[in-house]
A and B are shown apart, each in its own frame.
Chain A
Amino acid sequence: MTDAMTALSRGARALFLLGAAAFFGLPLLWLLLAPTRTADDLTTGSPLGFGSLGRVGDAWAHLMSYNDGEITLWIGNSVVYAAASVALALLLCVPAGYVLAKHDFAGRRTLLTLSIVTMILPPAALVLPLYLEMSAVNLAGTIWAVILPLSFYPFGVYLAFLHFQANLPDSLLDAARVDGASELRLFWSVALPLARPAIALIAFFGFVRCWTDFFLPFVMLSDDRTFTLQLGLMSLLQSTGAVNNSSGFADLDIHQPEAALAGLVACAPLMIGFVLAQRFLRTGLLAGAEKG
């Protein structure tokens, strides 16, 4: 391959990656700039204009004027719900994924199949059953009605299953068996150390799911003080007409820039989670490489 051709293919590659970055990144750039601008400027100014940083502070103050700063309560709720469900989901998914990938037992295929079934079961079918289930054990309306169903995460099991299937050689396990390691020990000291990338992915996607889930809190929670950030923000933005002027009429100063800021607050944890997961993913892979 000549140098010119390499340069050309490099250029094409960079162009492709950056073009995609523009497509995916522009919406977020707009959202990032929106809180600095006024509502008027958003509709009539240039699409990617910049207002002033002072506006961001004002916008936050306006958001806090809703129900005595209830938004902070929702953030706290969301953190608790998400942390608990993700922890529980990891406890369930990683061992299950390992066993499904590496052990042949009666019921294995059934479990895998049923996981797929429940993974793609439309939530509308679950409104009533889950609610009845939760109210039968007196948990409807409590945080457990959200945490427990969310910690059942078949998608996570699949991620773990695929990971162990592809990256944990049987030879490694058999060698440890020859050394007399018990099956639990095997999981603990052979599989788990290799599972860091899978854990990072499951934790991240599980977190995203819990943080953004709308349907379960919508069905289960009926007191605004127990709301998640997603549910609360919907309530806030709809009742102030911030997203569209016909949805609600309030004297609060909450308009499009405030809605954009609220949206940024809601997605900031996801971005942080992404960066953390990425770091974990990379170190995990290095560790895996040394062992393998």
Chain B
Amino acid sequence: MRTLTPTRPPAVETVSPAAPRRVKRRGRTVATWLLVGPYALFLAAFGLAPAGYALWTSFVHDGSFSGGRNWTAVFDDYRLGEAAGNVTTYLLLWLPVLLLTVLSLAFTLHARPGRATGALQLVYYLPGAVTGSAAALLWLFMVSPDSSPFGPLLRLMDVKTATDALSGGSLVAVLAVMGVAVHAGGWIVVLYGALTALPKDVLEAAQVDGASAWRTMWHVKLPMVRTYVAFVLISSFASGSQVFVEPTVLSTGAPGQISPTWSVNQLAYVYATQDGDFGKAAALSLTMLAVGLLAAWIVITRTRMYATDTR
């Protein structure tokens, strides 16, 4: 129990030079837990306990233990397959576009920071600030060719009415574009912040070397903010596979148009709210969690995100 080497992949362990931290002192342990303890407590109360209880409810039906009944009921639900298909298509469209948008804009902004940088970041962030019913109004009008500033673009794609935009194959594209507009701004800020915090000397050294802006970005900056990029990837994958807000918002604006169980997370909500079936909601939510965790695990092990060493 008292080993100081945490269970870490050896590859990571070998690069950890942190000799001073190996010296275990009582004062340090107390201080450590004083600083992290309150958070750990909240983690237990509002993260782990509810998650544990959710796991328990997923095995309970009508007040008694029912084995896998909720789980099989969920996987037998004809809506799950459709929803999973929708979400997969959404992720395939949205995630690459989002990552490209975030990375390209953050790096382009950072290549030559100017007076407009702050203002531009604010503009990029704006769509994400509009939420709830107002977002429903906004996006319904944005996809209505007659009243949208994007009207010419929509007509170019043969979208004549909002009903066109929200039905069939165009729906997922609309949702992906909307998702990029809503989520990119926040990540641009995070990534730009990370870039600005990089040590100046390294970047200057690269410039002296005569590396092009592109090379500096690819070979110097990107590796230095890799943990941030990993974080963006994990969070975005999770939030994308649990997409909920965008389809819900659009269906508030145009009720009956979009299936209320378009995405997997929406299906989980329908279980929990309309059906009052918390067992099924928990089973499906935990399945989504497992998918998210698998992705997170892959990203974390590939990027050595947990390493305590400083470069």
**Which residues from chain A sit less than 8 Å from chain B, CB to CB?**
9, 13, 16-17, 20-21, 23-31, 42-45, 47-48, 91-93, 95-96, 98-106, 108-109, 111-112, 114-122, 124-130, 132-133, 148-149, 151-152, 154-155, 157-159, 162-163, 165-170, 174, 177, 182-184, 187, 197, 201, 204-205, 208, 212, 214, 230, 233-234, 237-238, 242-244, 246-247, 256, 259-260, 262-264, 266-267, 270-271, 274-275, 278, 281-282, 285, 288-289, 292
- B51 near A93 with CB under 8 A, answer no
Instruction: Give Cα A292–Cα B146 distance, bound, in whole angstroms.
Output: 55
In angstroms, Cα B129 to Cα A25, docked, is 12
Question: Cβ of A27: which chain B residues have Cβ within 8 Å of it?
Answer: 126-127, 130, 138-139, 142, 149, 181
> Are A244 and B252 interface neighbours, CB within 8 A?
yes
Write the B136-163 contact mask toward A (1 if CB under 8 angstroms, else 0). 1111111010111111000000000000
Main secondary structure of the interface of B (DSSP, over half): helix
Q: Which residues of B contact A214 (CB under 8 A)?
A: 131-132
In the docked arrangement, what's the CA distance between A148 and B45, Å?
10
Which partner residue on chain B sits nearest A265 by CB separation?
B134
Q: Can you list 14 contacts pairing A with B, beta carbon distance less than 8 Å?
A: A16-B104, A24-B184, A27-B138, A95-B39, A105-B32, A116-B234, A116-B300, A128-B278, A154-B47, A155-B235, A237-B133, A243-B140, A259-B134, A263-B134
Contact B32 A183 (CB under 8 A): yes
| Neighbouring A residues of B278 by C-beta, 8 Å | 127-128
Contacts of B197 in A (CB 8 A): 163, 166-167, 197, 285, 288
B260 at the interface (CB under 8 A from A): no
Closest to B133 in A: A237
B28 within 8 A of A: yes
Q: What B residues does A115 contact at CB under 8 A?
A: 43, 47
Query: Does any Cβ of A come within 8 Å of B10's Cβ?
Result: no
Chain B residues bordering chain A, tally (CB within 8 A): 124
Per the 8 Å Cβ criterion, residues 243-294 of B in contact with A are: 252-255, 265, 268-269, 271-273, 278, 281-282, 284-286, 288-289, 292-293
Q: Which residue from B36, B268, B273, B296 sits with its C-beta under 8 Å from A95?
A: B36
Residue in B47, B147, B273 whose beta carbon sits within 8 Å of that of A114 in the complex: B47
Q: Are the C-beta atoms of A125 and B194 separated by less than 8 Å?
A: no
For the complex, give the distance between the alpha carbons of A256 and B42 in Å: 41
User: Which B residues are CB-close (under 8 A) to A96?
Assistant: 35-36, 38-40
Residues of B within 8 Å of A205, CB to CB, are 186
Which one of B121, B213, B231, B308 has the greatest number of beta carbons of chain A within 10 Å? B308
Point out the residues of chain B lying under 8 angstroms from A288, CB to CB: 197
Q: Inside 8 A of B268's CB, which chain A residues have their CB? A: 122, 124-125
- CA of A43 to CA of B140 in the docked complex: distance in angstroms? 11
For the complex, what is the distance from the CA of A183 to the CA of B198, rounded to whole Å? 26
Q: Which of B148, B282, B307, B310 has the most CB of A within 10 A?
A: B310
The 8 nearest A-B residue pairs measured at CB: A263-B134, A118-B47, A183-B31, A125-B285, A129-B50, A96-B39, A120-B238, A95-B35
Contacts of A29 in B (CB 8 A): 149
Task: Please measure, in the bound complex, the distance between the C-alpha atom of A205 and the C-alpha atom of B190, giving whole angstroms.
Answer: 10
Within the complex, what minimum Cβ distance (angstroms) separates B129 from chain A? 4
Tell me if A's interface is mostly helix, strand, loop or mixed. Answer: helix
Binds A, one of B79-87, B88-96, B105-113, B164-172: B105-113
- Give Cα distance in the complex from A152 to B147, angstroms: 42
Q: Which one of B124, B151, B284, B300 has the greatest number of beta carbons of chain A within 10 Å? A: B124
By a CB distance below 8 angstroms, the chain A residues around B238 are 119-120
Most B CB within 10 A of own CB, among A154, A183, A271: A183
Check: B1 CB closer than 8 A to any chain A CB.
Answer: yes
With a cutoff of 8 Å between Cβ atoms, the chain A residues found around residue B198 in the complex are 166
Taking CB atoms, residues of chain B closer than 8 Å to A204 are 189
Which single residue of chain B is at the shortest CB-CB distance from A118? B47
Contact A109 B120, beta carbon cutoff 8 Å? no
* Cα separation A214 to B249 with both chains bound (whole Å): 12
The reply to whether B308 and A104 contact each other, CB–CB distance below 8 Å, is yes
Output the least CB separation between A286 and chain B (Å).
Answer: 10
Contact A149 B284 (CB under 8 A): no
Contacts of B300 in A (CB 8 A): 116
Say yes or no: A289-B200 contact (C-beta < 8 A), given A24-B123, A263-B138: yes
Specify which of A23, A132, A233 lies most central, judged by the most chain B CB atoms within 10 Å of its CB.
A23
A234 to B135, CA, bound (A): 11
B307: A residues at CB distance < 8 A: 165
Given that A92-B39, A230-B132 are contacting pairs, would A20 and B105 also be in contact in the complex, using a CB cutoff of 8 Å? yes
CA distance A120 to B200 in the complex (A): 34
The one of B51, B123, B150 that contacts A118, using a Cβ cutoff of 8 Å: B51
**Is the CB–CB distance between B235 and A243 below 8 Å?**
no
Smallest CB–CB gap between B67 and chain A, Å? 19
Give Cα distance in the complex from A80 to B135, angstroms. Answer: 23
Contact residues in B for A127 (Cβ distance below 8 Å): 272-273, 278, 281
Asked if A104 and B272 sit within 8 Å, CB to CB, the answer is no
Residue of A nearest to B194 (CB): A166
Q: Is the CB of A124 within 8 A of B265?
A: yes
The answer to whether A267 and B8 have CB atoms under 8 Å apart is no
